[in-house]
């Protein structure tokens, strides 16, 4: 039953007065649309509110006046007052030497998400982790770097290098050992670190507490013998014994246990190394801001986002420490350090709002919930009806529960689709929908399973795709009569440039219209990108001027594209998030490659966000899968997926077997023989053409054209 039908039933069949029905939408625009649908069904106007407007009304009734609201939007050309307040607070704290030291240590030891090498099954999976989690900035260096901007082999080595630098201990990275050591099995030995002032070597071994290395460390075969990683460790130890050189050993398991630096300092001091004269925080921070300005901005953005999610879920600082207490080792230590940075920022922000006599949008909901729980406000409604319930957050749920508790006879009617829950970054918790009865009591759960937009071929593809995630609620969509298809209504377009792809697609659309003999050859085309950082999205805006003109965005957060060849086509471009609720005759989905900002986006949330975001969707890329589902179900006629031919995304590789003409196109994809994850693509320099791995610089596999052809033929045979 739709919301409009429910309203008609309640008012006409049950005689419920309209003022006893609370209608809630998540945005004013969605509320206006709901109100129009209800009026079309019932013939009457009904008030539809948002959660924030409801909270504000409750606060005003309790306090006797409406509070002042702080501007919270940070997505503006001009920063909001709230953003300015937080930035000002951070700048003030940078003048505090103790806080500056915390910032310095965060950049030195806790800047990036860390996962031990032995948690990955393959080298490729580990390299993907480095690429996807090292930095969430497209313009920043994507290889592990020390504070001195050295490129090192692992984040564990970065931590050691930064410790030595911050403690004024001179070191040289991978300098050749002082004795000649090359053999038929091993090259000249180059220890990880050498301390020239003390004549000490440091080797960091990727070993667990049982002496095992990651299982994807492959043995080498030379002169008829097999040499394992442990053989290399034994060889290095033997060299130091043979030549009487001093060696300090550190291990991956020490990093995992969160004691790497503590153990390193202890071992250094046992050898007489002075660790008591650190560099000044001011000197270190000057270097960080000089060379890593974008990362400083990234941390400030993280603090801002963390604060919003913290308040959005109505948490306390005690809640954060209790959640972190469930963790251990490095992750626990990193979160503790971040909380030491965050807590004074939050407290100063709360005091500033109090000084200004303001509340922010999150307070509008949280304060209202508290007033209801404390008995200052009693729910006057018999029915609460909520649209798009899959977008509900913990704070929203607290408000709904408080309203129901204050009036136990109140009924709750919610409409939503867990397959389209795509706002986790804004606080939504899909488990509040999928586990509805657990949170809100005895529940009846009917399904609306008829879709009027797309045909059964897209139903089959999209349903198969979304239900790969076992945490989604199974539903069997169906089409009304007349929507049955005799062939698929989707296709993968393999092209390296979005401009070329869109030109080809428009030709195809024009041909489809001509074949259908439509009297008026106009149509609506919606072009979708994962984000505006998507390279394909940028290509259309910057490189497509010869064929397309991309105009300024409108109120719906979309931009209009004018095709010089087909000026009668109505073409809009936007992101998949902005397209939710939209539809068009034809949809073009850009960014279906394996770049960081494609579908699925590999720019993962910082792990510290686990303290303020819900972790109930444990399926890999669960939210990204739902977002891709939203994108692929916007078309009434036909959907085009645009992917680079030699590096399609995991989503494209998943749906490719069900797409027409795809096997021939897939034949050109060559898996990297070294990391077994990246794809081998052509590279061109001024001097030569060669082939290399898409995971460069993490995987350095290169090959000649002849070897590429040989590998390609071998993979095709298997």
Could you report the per-residue pLDDT of 224-240, keeping only the tens digit for each?
788 899 999 999 999 99
Given the structure tokens 């023989």, which residue do they identify?
Answer: 673
pLDDT of residue 139 exceeding 70: no
Burial call 360-399: b when 16+ CB within 10 Å, e when fewer? bbbbbbbbbbbbbeeeebebebbbbbbbbbbbbbbbbbbb
Question: Is 8 in contact with 46 (CB distance < 8 Å)?
Answer: no
Query: Residue 485: how many CB atoms within 10 A of its CB?
Result: 14
Find out whether the peptide bond into 504 is cis, omega within 30 degrees of 0.
Answer: no
State how far Cα 256 lies from the chain centre. 24
**pLDDT class for 625, splitting at 50, 70, 90?**
very high
Question: Is 600 in contact with 549 (CB distance < 8 Å)?
Answer: no
Give residue 384's pLDDT.
95
Three-class DSSP category at 498: helix
**What is the chain's mean pLDDT, rounded?**
84
**Tokens in use for 461?**
């593809």
Angle at 76 between CA 70 and CA 82, to 5 degrees: 25
**Tokens in use for 533?**
């950082």
Q: CA separation (Å) from 483 to 68, 261, 458, 476, 522?
A: 52, 64, 11, 16, 21
Contacts of residue 99, defined as CB under 8 A and 6 or more positions apart, other chains included, come to 93, 341, 344
The kind and range of the H/E element at 640 are strand 635-643
Rounded Cα distance between 272 and 266, Å, is 10
pTM: predicted TM-score of the whole model, two decimal places: 0.79
Percentages (nearest 5) of helix, strand, coil residues in the chain:
45, 15, 40
Mean pLDDT confidence for 460-474: 91
All CATH 3.40.50.300 domain ranges of the chain, comma separated, are 3-67+361-440, 456-662
Q: What percent of the chain has pLDDT over 90?
A: 36
Nearest to 58 by CA among 400, 389, 473: 400
Rounded Cα distance between 601 and 576, Å, is 12
**pLDDT class for 77, splitting at 50, 70, 90?**
very low
Query: Residue 475: how many CB atoms within 10 A of its CB?
Result: 15
Rounded Cα distance between 107 and 300, Å, is 12
Strands 21-25 and 246-251: unpaired
Higher pLDDT, 84 or 219: 219
Question: Is 645 in contact with 669 (CB distance < 8 Å)?
Answer: yes
Given the structure tokens 């749906």, which residue do they identify?
Answer: 655
Give residue 138's pLDDT.
35
All CATH 3.40.960.10 domain ranges of the chain, comma separated, are 112-282
Rounded Cα distance between 322 and 317, Å, is 9
Strands (E) across 336-444 are located at 358-359, 383-386, 411-414
Q: CA separation (Å) from 136 to 130, 140, 141, 247, 309?
A: 11, 8, 10, 36, 18
Strands 680-684 and 584-589: unpaired
Give residue 442's pLDDT.
77
pLDDT of residue 467 exceeding 60: yes
Mean pLDDT confidence for 194-198: 96
Q: Which CATH number fits domain 456-662: 3.40.50.300, 3.40.50.1970, 3.10.310.10, 3.55.40.10?
A: 3.40.50.300
Give residue 78's pLDDT.
36
Question: Interhelix angle for 81-93 vs 329-356, to 10°?
Answer: 120
Rounded Cα distance between 518 and 509, Å, is 12
Strands (E) across 440-569 are located at 490-494, 524-529, 548-553, 559-563
**pLDDT class for 199, splitting at 50, 70, 90?**
very high
State phi, psi for 586 to the nearest 5 degrees. Answer: -130, 140
Alpha helices in 259-328 (DSSP H): 260-270, 281-291, 293-312, 317-324
Q: What is the DSSP string of 560-593?
A: EEEESS-TTSEEEEEETTTTTT--EEEEEE---B
Give residue 239's pLDDT.
95
Give residue 193's pLDDT.
96
Give residue 661's pLDDT.
62
Give residue 290's pLDDT.
80
Give residue 614's pLDDT.
67
- Strand-pair partners of 358: 68
Question: Is 107 in contact with 295 (CB distance < 8 Å)?
Answer: yes
Task: Enter the DSSP assignment of 435.
Answer: T
Three-class DSSP category at 95: coil
State phi, psi for 313 to the nearest 5 degrees. Answer: -100, 10
Rounded Cα distance between 222 and 717, Å, is 28
Domain at 112-282: CATH code: 3.40.960.10
pLDDT one-digit tens code per residue, 435-450: 888 888 877 777 777 6
The kind and range of the H/E element at 248 are strand 246-251
Rounded Cα distance between 657 and 666, Å, is 10
Q: CA separation (Å) from 50 to 10, 28, 47, 118, 631?
A: 21, 7, 10, 48, 25
**pLDDT class for 711, splitting at 50, 70, 90?**
confident
Mean pLDDT confidence for 710-716: 76
**pLDDT class for 140, splitting at 50, 70, 90?**
very low
Give residue 607's pLDDT.
82
Nearest to 609 by CA among 338, 343, 421: 338
Question: Is 692 in contact with 681 (CB distance < 8 Å)?
Answer: yes
Rounded Cα distance between 561 and 540, Å, is 9
Given the structure tokens 């300015």, which residue do they identify?
Answer: 84
State phi, psi for 642 to the nearest 5 degrees. Answer: -105, 120
Higher pLDDT, 633 or 289: 633
Rounded Cα distance between 93 and 348, Å, is 10
**Stretch among 185-194, 426-435, 483-492, 699-708 having the lowest mean pLDDT:** 483-492
Question: Interhelix angle for 498-515 vs 535-542, to 10°?
Answer: 80
The kind and range of the H/E element at 717 are helix 705-717
Rounded Cα distance between 487 and 661, Å, is 12
**Tokens in use for 143?**
């290889």
**pLDDT class for 212, splitting at 50, 70, 90?**
very high
| 3-67+361-440 maps to CATH 1.10.3720.10 | no
**pLDDT class for 632, splitting at 50, 70, 90?**
very high
Highest mean pLDDT among 124-128, 328-332, 372-376, 439-443: 372-376
**pLDDT class for 322, splitting at 50, 70, 90?**
very high
Nearest to 353 by CA among 91, 82, 74, 65: 82
């Amino acid at each position: 039953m739709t919301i409009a039908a429910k309203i008609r039933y309640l008012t006409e069949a049950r005689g419920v007065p309209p003022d006893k029905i609370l209608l809630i939408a998540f945005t004013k625009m969605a509320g206006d649309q709901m109100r129009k649908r209800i009026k079309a069904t019932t013939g009457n106007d009904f008030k539809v509110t948002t959660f924030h407007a409801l909270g504000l009304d409750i606060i005003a009734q309790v306090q006797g006046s409406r509070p002042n609201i702080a501007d919270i939007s940070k997505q503006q050309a001009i920063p909001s007052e709230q953003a300015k307040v937080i930035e000002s607070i951070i700048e003030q704290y940078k003048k505090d030497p103790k806080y500056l030291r915390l910032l310095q240590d965060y950049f030195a030891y806790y800047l990036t998400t860390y996962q031990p090498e032995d948690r990955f099954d393959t080298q490729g999976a580990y390299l993907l982790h480095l690429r996807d989690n090292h930095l969430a900035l497209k313009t920043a260096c994507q290889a592990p770097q020390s504070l001195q901007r050295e490129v090192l082999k692992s984040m564990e080595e970065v931590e050691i290098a930064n410790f030595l630098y911050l403690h004024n201990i001179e070191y040289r990275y991978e300098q050749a050992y002082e004795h000649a050591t090359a053999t038929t099995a091993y090259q000249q030995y180059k220890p990880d670190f050498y301390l020239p002032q003390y004549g000490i070597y440091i080797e960091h071994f990727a070993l667990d507490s049982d002496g095992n290395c990651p299982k994807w460390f492959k043995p080498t075969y030379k002169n008829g013998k097999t040499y394992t990683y442990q053989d290399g460790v034994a060889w290095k130890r033997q060299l130091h014994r043979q030549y009487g050189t001093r060696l300090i050993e550190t291990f991956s398991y020490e990093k995992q246990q969160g004691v790497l630096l503590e153990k390193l300092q202890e071992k250094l001091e046992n050898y007489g190394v002075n660790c008591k004269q650190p560099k000044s925080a001011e000197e270190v921070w000057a270097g960080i801001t000089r060379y890593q300005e974008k990362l400083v901005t990234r941390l400030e953005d993280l603090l801002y986002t963390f604060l919003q999610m913290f308040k959005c879920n109505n948490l306390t600082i005690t809640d954060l420490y209790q959640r972190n207490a469930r963790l251990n080792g490095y992750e626990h230590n990193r979160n503790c350090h971040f909380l030491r940075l965050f807590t004074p920022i939050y407290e100063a922000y709360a005091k500033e709002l109090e000084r200004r006599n303001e509340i922010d949008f999150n307070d509008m909901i949280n304060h209202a919930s508290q007033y209801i729980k404390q008995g200052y406000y009693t729910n006057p409604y018999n029915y609460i009806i909520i649209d798009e319930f899959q977008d509900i957050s913990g704070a929203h749920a607290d408000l709904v529960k408080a309203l129901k508790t204050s009036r136990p006879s109140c009924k709750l009617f919610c409409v939503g689709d867990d397959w389209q829950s795509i706002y986790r970054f804004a606080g939504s918790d899909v488990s509040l929908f999928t586990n509805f009865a657990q949170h809100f009591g005895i529940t009846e759960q009917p399904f609306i399973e008829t879709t009027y937009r797309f045909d059964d071929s897209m139903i089959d593809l999209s349903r198969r795709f979304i239900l790969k995630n076992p945490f989604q609620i199974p539903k069997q969509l169906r089409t009304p009569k007349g929507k049955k298809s005799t062939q698929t209504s989707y296709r993968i377009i393999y092209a390296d440039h979005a401009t070329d792809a869109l030109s080809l697609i428009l030709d195809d659309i024009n041909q489809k219209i001509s074949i259908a003999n439509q009297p008026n050859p106009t149509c609506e085309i919606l072009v979708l990108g994962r984000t505006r950082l998507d390279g394909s999205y940028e290509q259309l805006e910057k490189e497509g001027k010869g064929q397309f003109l991309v105009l300024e965005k409108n109120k719906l957060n979309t931009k209009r594209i004018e095709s010089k060849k087909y000026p009668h086509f109505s073409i809009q471009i936007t992101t998949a998030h902005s397209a939710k609720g939209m539809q068009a005759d034809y949809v073009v989905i850009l960014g279906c490659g394996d770049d960081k900002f494609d579908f699925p986006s590999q720019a993962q949330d910082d792990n510290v966000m686990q303290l303020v975001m819900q972790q109930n969707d444990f399926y890999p890329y669960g939210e990204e899968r739902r977002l891709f589902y939203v994108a692929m179900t916007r078309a009434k006629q036909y959907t085009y997926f645009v992917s680079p031919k030699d590096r399609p995304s995991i989503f494209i590789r998943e749906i490719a077997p069900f797409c027409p003409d795809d096997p021939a196109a897939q034949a050109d994809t060559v898996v990297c023989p070294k990391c077994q994850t990246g794809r081998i693509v052509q590279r061109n320099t001024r001097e030569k053409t060669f082939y290399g791995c898409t995971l460069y610089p993490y995987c350095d596999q290169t090959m000649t054209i002849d070897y590429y052809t040989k590998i390609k033929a071998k993979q095709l045979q298997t």
